[in-house]
């Protein structure tokens, strides 16, 4: 009996060592080269994000039975995104046989000029990949019809809470990188003793994504390994679309089309840049919180739903993508060792997770042996004993790394809930491992005994997760205030902002007013921040907008009223106003049926444009006037193009508004 126990013990410990030692070696290599590599990686210059003109961006949301969340998600996206609304368009991929989602998509299309419903050519559900490919085909046609070119396409899920700065970070980074992946951090309730068990399943997602997207994905990026797409927050430049031309971009024979596409891109020489960037926010208690530019969403909260979702992940990633033979046979001259090694690490999970159950049984045997006269499984003087000690050290080390990641994303209370209750073998870790074990077992069952629907090359149907969205009260925390914008742009530091907030509360004034009267910020900085909050355009050079519209008002009236007419439209005027412009000056205009479309600028810029003699139209202005008259561009796009025309002569093409 004792010899049998010893044999079982050494088999289990060797199995764990085989599947853990390579992770330790990977970490050592990454840490050894971290300082050298990180010195070459530049942090995202937040203060420069708005220094380049906005380019047209497309967002794809594939939807099948998402009528419960789709409207709230898109409403929130548009209400919070700090990017000109006319410069991004949202394409909703829906199915002709999904009436409820169709109704919501049609309502959104009618509500917003930049939202478009894309009805699939076939009934649903198809694979998510087919849905995405169908939308991309629609976008190509949309570009031809409008003479536009989207600089990039971003994939999002129908339940995502998208960060307000994601699009302008995309606009800045897509000039350097062809592919971007933003982090995905699951939403969870703040852990308490009362909700520990009710939130344990969703908590396992938070733990795993925190470790993976705070540490592992960044390490993969540093090591030039495969950075897999997360299926959401994934940005594809138009250059990639051009390279594959009319070929369907997303593989339609996989349940995890995002991962398989990442492998395909990597093998074709296209690497994904992982974007782990954060912006400061001053909380009400005076503490500074670093908020990651990441996608947030609710993940399954029940064991059954979690196993179902992770079964799809395990099956798609490890059983429908590359095999070990495929990885070994990759061309050594074209594929780096680190790239192949990362593919192997993904592949091994379908074996590694199966060790969880026997490992926990051994642990239970060990605990029982402390109180009953059972044969000792691991004697310290034996090989299995020393290996078990080493394995224990590795496990503790891994838990420390996980705790660091969780602390950075969710705070110390989540570290306690995840890694310290109880000590030695935390419940949330064990529960997460049991979910992964069950999902892996189910994936193997489908692979070996499943119907042809699950076979490797079969065209698969969409295996989706039911979604829910946050309440409007919770969503308020995702809106930015003027202090957030000033910090992001580097106009002010957190200490000065804190003092200004205190003074503003005491005097009953707006914080912007306090900062301005104390000469802490300039009028231009204040107006830029206000424009960002109100999702309006800040005009940097009003003098570029010399037009005949000025004759409709007269210089004296404009000087007194402090606004300047940028364009005259069929139904009204586009004007640039200042902090000091009295709102009542528009009353007469609106009473006569004119619409007033507002942009922001400064008093000095408006007065300069009013008092300086008119300048001749440049080519950009002439082209913009013609496009605006023919309804080829919106008034906001026209303002952005003219305002940036001094930066480059082909500004319209750069922005994607007139590509030919």
Count of CB atoms within 10 A of residue 329's CB?
Answer: 10
Kindly state the DSSP code that residue 212 receives in the 8-state scheme. I
630 has pLDDT over 50: yes
pTM of the model: 0.92
What per-residue confidence (pLDDT) applies to 526?
Answer: 94
Kindly state the DSSP code that residue 216 receives in the 8-state scheme. I
- Helices 383-410 and 2-38: angle between axes, nearest 10 degrees: 40
SS3 at position 533: helix
**What is the rounded distance in angstroms from the CA atom of residue 118 to the CA atom of residue 124?**
13
Question: Residue 551: how many CA atoms within 13 Å on its side-chain side?
Answer: 3
- Alpha helices in 126-216, H assignment, sequence order: 128-146, 166-173, 200-211
CB-count burial class (<10 Å; 0-12, 13-18, 19+) for 23: middle
**What is the rounded distance in angstroms from the CA atom of residue 135 to the CA atom of residue 153?**
11
- Bridge partners (DSSP) of residue 595 are 572
pLDDT band at 13 (very low <50, low <70, confident <90, very high): confident
Ranges 86-100, 386-400, 424-438, 607-621: which has the least confidence:
607-621
Residues 10, 332: contact at Cβ < 8 Å?
A: no
Residue % of the chain over a pLDDT of 90: 63
Residue 172: φ, ψ to 5°: -75, -45
User: Taking the chain, what is the end-to-end CA distance rounded to the nearest angstrom?
Assistant: 82
Summarised one tens digit per residue, pLDDT across range 122-181 is 999 999 999 999 999 999 999 999 999 999 999 999 999 999 999 999 999 999 999 999
Summarised one tens digit per residue, pLDDT across range 524-582 is 999 999 999 999 999 999 999 887 788 888 888 999 999 999 999 988 999 999 988 98
Summarised one tens digit per residue, pLDDT across range 323-348 is 888 888 888 777 888 898 899 989 99
- Bridge partners (DSSP) of residue 295 are 184
Count of CB atoms within 10 A of residue 646's CB?
Answer: 14
- DSSP state letters, 583-650: GGGGHHHHHTT-EEEEEE--HHHHHHHHHSPP----HHHHHHHHHHHTTSS-HHHHHHHHHTTTT-TT
pLDDT band at 1 (very low <50, low <70, confident <90, very high): low
Q: What angle do CA 55, 57, 59 make, to 5 degrees?
A: 170
What per-residue confidence (pLDDT) applies to 42?
Answer: 63
What per-residue confidence (pLDDT) applies to 227?
Answer: 93
125 prior amide bond cis, ω within 30 = yes
Among residues 185, 143, 424, 145, the alpha carbon closest in space to that of 292 is found at 185
Burial 418-452 (b: 16+ CB within 10 A, else e): bbeeeeeebebbebbbbbbbbbbbbbbebbeebee
Residues 182, 95: contact at Cβ < 8 Å?
A: no
Question: Residue 432: how many CA atoms within 13 Å on its side-chain side?
Answer: 18
Residues 254, 129: contact at Cβ < 8 Å?
A: yes
Instruction: For the chain, give the longest Cα–Cα distance.
Output: 103
**What is the rounded distance in angstroms from the CA atom of residue 37 to the CA atom of residue 31?**
10
pLDDT band at 461 (very low <50, low <70, confident <90, very high): low
Q: Which are the contacts of 402, defined by CB distance < 8 A and separation ≥ 6?
A: 207, 210, 211, 418, 419
Pairing of strands 595-600, 572-577: parallel
What per-residue confidence (pLDDT) applies to 453?
Answer: 47
């Amino acid at each position: 009996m004792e010899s049998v126990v010893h044999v079982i013990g050494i088999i289990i410990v060797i199995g764990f060592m085989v599947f853990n030692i390579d992770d330790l070696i990977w970490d050592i290599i990454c840490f050894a080269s971290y300082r050298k590599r990180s010195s070459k990686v530049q942090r995202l210059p937040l203060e420069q994000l708005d220094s380049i003109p906005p380019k047209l961006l497309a967002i794809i949301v594939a939807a099948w039975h998402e009528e419960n969340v789709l409207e709230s998600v898109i409403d929130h996206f548009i209400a919070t995104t700090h990017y000109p609304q006319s410069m991004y368009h949202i394409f909703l991929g829906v199915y002709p046989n999904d009436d409820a989602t169709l109704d919501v998509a049609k309502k959104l299309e009618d509500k917003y000029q930049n939202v478009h419903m894309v009805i699939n050519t076939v009934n649903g559900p198809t694979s998510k990949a087919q849905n995405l490919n169908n939308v991309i085909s629609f976008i190509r046609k949309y570009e031809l019809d409008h003479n536009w070119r989207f600089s990039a396409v971003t994939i999002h899920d129908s339940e995502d809470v998208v960060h307000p700065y994601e699009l302008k970070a995309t606009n800045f980074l897509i000039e350097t990188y062809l592919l971007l992946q933003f982090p995905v951090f699951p939403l969870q309730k703040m852990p308490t003793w009362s909700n520990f068990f009710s939130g344990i399943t969703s908590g396992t997602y938070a733990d795993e994504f925190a470790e993976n997207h705070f540490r592992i994905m960044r390490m993969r990026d540093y090591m030039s390994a495969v950075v897999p797409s997360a299926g959401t927050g994934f940005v594809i430049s138009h250059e990639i679309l051009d390279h594959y031309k009319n070929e369907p971009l997303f593989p339609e024979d996989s349940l995890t089309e995002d991962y398989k596409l990442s492998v395909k891109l990597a093998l074709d020489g296209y690497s994904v840049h992982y974007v782990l960037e954060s912006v400061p926010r001053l909380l009400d208690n005076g503490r500074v919180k670093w908020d990651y530019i990441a996608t947030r969403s609710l993940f399954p909260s029940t064991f059954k739903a979690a196993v179902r979702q992770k079964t799809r992940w395990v099956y798609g990633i490890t059983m429908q993508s590359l095999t070990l033979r495929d990885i070994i046979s990759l061309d050594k001259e074209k594929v780096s060792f680190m790239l192949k090694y990362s593919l192997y690490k993904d592949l091994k999970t379908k074996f590694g997770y199966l060790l969880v159950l026997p490992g926990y049984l051994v642990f239970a045997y060990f605990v029982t042996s402390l109180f009953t006269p059972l044969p000792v499984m691991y004697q310290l003087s034996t090989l299995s004993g020393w290996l078990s000690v080493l394995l224990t050290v590795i496990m503790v080390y891994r838990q420390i790394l996980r705790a660091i990641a969780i602390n950075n994303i969710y705070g110390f209370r989540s570290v306690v809930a995840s890694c310290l209750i109880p000590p030695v073998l935390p419940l949330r870790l064990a529960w997460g491992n049991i979910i992964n074990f069950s999902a892996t077992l189910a994936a193997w069952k489908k692979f070996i005994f499943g119907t042809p629907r699950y076979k490797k090359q079969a065209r698969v149907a969409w295996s989706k997760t039911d979604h829910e969205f946050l309440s409007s009260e919770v969503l308020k925390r995702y809106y930015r205030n003027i202090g957030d914008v000033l910090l992001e742009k580097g106009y002010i530091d957190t200490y000065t902002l804190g003092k200004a907030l205190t003074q503003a509360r005491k005097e009953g004034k707006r914080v912007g007013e306090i900062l301005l009267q104390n000469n802490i910020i300039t009028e231009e900085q204040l107006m830029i921040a206000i424009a960002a909050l109100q999702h309006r355009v800040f005009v940097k050079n009003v003098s570029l907008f010399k037009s005949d519209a000025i004759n409709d008002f007269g210089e004296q009236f404009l000087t007194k009223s402090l606004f300047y007419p940028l364009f005259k439209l069929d139904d009204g005027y586009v004007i640039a106003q200042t902090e000091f412009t009295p709102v009542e000056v528009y009353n007469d205009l609106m009473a006569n049926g004119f619409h007033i479309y507002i942009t922001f600028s400064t008093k000095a810029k408006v007065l300069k444009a009013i008092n300086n003699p008119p300048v001749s139209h440049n080519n950009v202005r002439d082209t913009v006037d013609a496009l605006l008259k023919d309804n080829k561009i919106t008034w906001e796009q026209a303002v952005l193009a003219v305002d940036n025309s001094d930066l480059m002569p082909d500004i319209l093409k750069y922005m994607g508004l007139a590509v030919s």
